[in-house]
Homo-oligomer: A and B are copies of this chain.
Amino acid sequence: MGLKTVKTIADIARLTGVSKSTVSRALNDSPLISEETKERIRAVAKEHNFQINVSASRLSLQQSRTIAFAVHAQKNCGGFSLNDLFLLELLGAISSTLSTLHYDLLVANINPHDPAWPHEYLDTGRVDGFILLTSTRKKFHIGTLVKMKAPFIVWGTPLPNYSYCSVNSDNFNGGRLATEHLLQKGRRRIAFMGGPADEGETEQRYAGYVAALKEAGQEVAPTLVRYGDWTSDSGMERMQQLLEASPDLDAVFANSDLMAAGAMNVLHARGRRVPQDVAVVGYDDLSIARVNSPPLTTISQNLPLVGKLLAQNLIQYVETGVVTNVTIPAHLIVRESA
């Protein structure tokens, strides 16, 4: 006990009276080695609680068994991207899935304006692939990654004309579910508070919103539609604009929980009760949704599943080259805000 003198497979080999190769094979459960020799070697290894040196192993194997989660710092002192909570919840699922698959998770702090960032991770052998959700300059990054044949997977609607792995949620249905729920609650002046207008997610949710309205025989009113950038600040601004443009609105479908929270803040400040006067539906089902006042009705994207798929499918691609594009269902979570 104490300082270990047994550190390498050569030590184990000496103790067991076999060669390095045999130890290496035994620990990797190679069929070449007899069961009884394996047992003996494993026993000695356990006894000295031997841990393999991953640097050496990675060098030999020419792979890192490490995945990078790409994030980019924001202007405001070392923070994360605007996704914040969203990102964290995903990170948890990704992390545990990867560890199940014996991969490590690296947090890669990238500079979104430097197209060469993947080199620093890939060419150095640090990681075997990337997971990204970066909404900032998404197309740009995807383009460069495809060009340099880097293995990666992205959260979000896949871009046309590119082939790469992705995990996407059923945004059209999400938009429809939210809108249908509001209609069913008797709302007739339902505002759409979208994410950035040019992002696929926003477009699809808007399409779902429109479809639900049409089905209910309603018109789409331009004064009830505004686009923001997912943040609570933009939620506040858009809510003010919506109230000015349409003082009679009785519901809001916000494209993110953060925007919904901002919107509710403004509504409270203006003396509108939620949900009595204005019903609010969010999107994402972040952990804060339950904590809002009132608790937020929202569209759940099953983040644990998303994280798991991101990890699994990326690794599948790294190891076999299979490109997957999956779409996961959206669910309505009814709480008190609508």
Contact = CB atoms under 8 A, between A and B. Distances in A.
Interface in A41-72: 49, 51-56, 58-59, 64, 66, 69, 71
Interface in A236-293: 258, 261-262, 264-265, 268, 287-288, 290-293
B55 A59 contact: yes
A64 B73 CA distance: 23
A91 B78 CA distance: 9
A11 interface: no
Nearest to A80: B92
Contacts of A288: 85, 261, 288, 291
Contacts of A258: 291
A299 to B, nearest CB: 18
Contacts of A293: 261, 264-265, 268, 292-293
A119 interface: yes
A87 B73 CA distance: 16
Q: How many protomers of this protein does the assembly include?
A: 2
B80 A88 contact: yes
Contacts of A98: 109
A53 B49 contact: no
A157 interface: no
A174 interface: no
Contacts of A97: 78
B308 A78 contact: yes
A120 interface: yes
A232 B290 contact: yes
Contacts of A229: none
Contacts of A4: 123
A295 interface: yes
Contacts of A124: 51-54
A49 B98 CA distance: 31
Interface in A283-324: 287-288, 290-295, 304, 307-308
A2 to B, nearest CB: 10
Contacts of A109: 95-96, 98-99, 105
Contacts of A287: 84-85
Nearest to A261: B291
A93 interface: yes
A78 B96 contact: yes
A150 interface: no
Interface string A1-28: 0001001000000000000000000000
A78 B307 contact: yes
A106 interface: yes
B125 A55 contact: yes
A49 B80 contact: no
Contacts of A79: 89, 92-93, 304
A59 B53 CA distance: 8
The 9 A-B residue pairs with the shortest CB-CB distance, nearest first, are A51-B123, A88-B88, A55-B59, A78-B93, A80-B92, A55-B58, A261-B291, A105-B107, A78-B96
Interface of A: 4, 7, 49, 51-56, 58-59, 64, 66, 69, 71, 73, 77-80, 84-85, 87-89, 91-93, 95-99, 104-107, 109, 116, 119-120, 123-126, 232, 258, 261-262, 264-265, 268, 287-288, 290-295, 304, 307-308
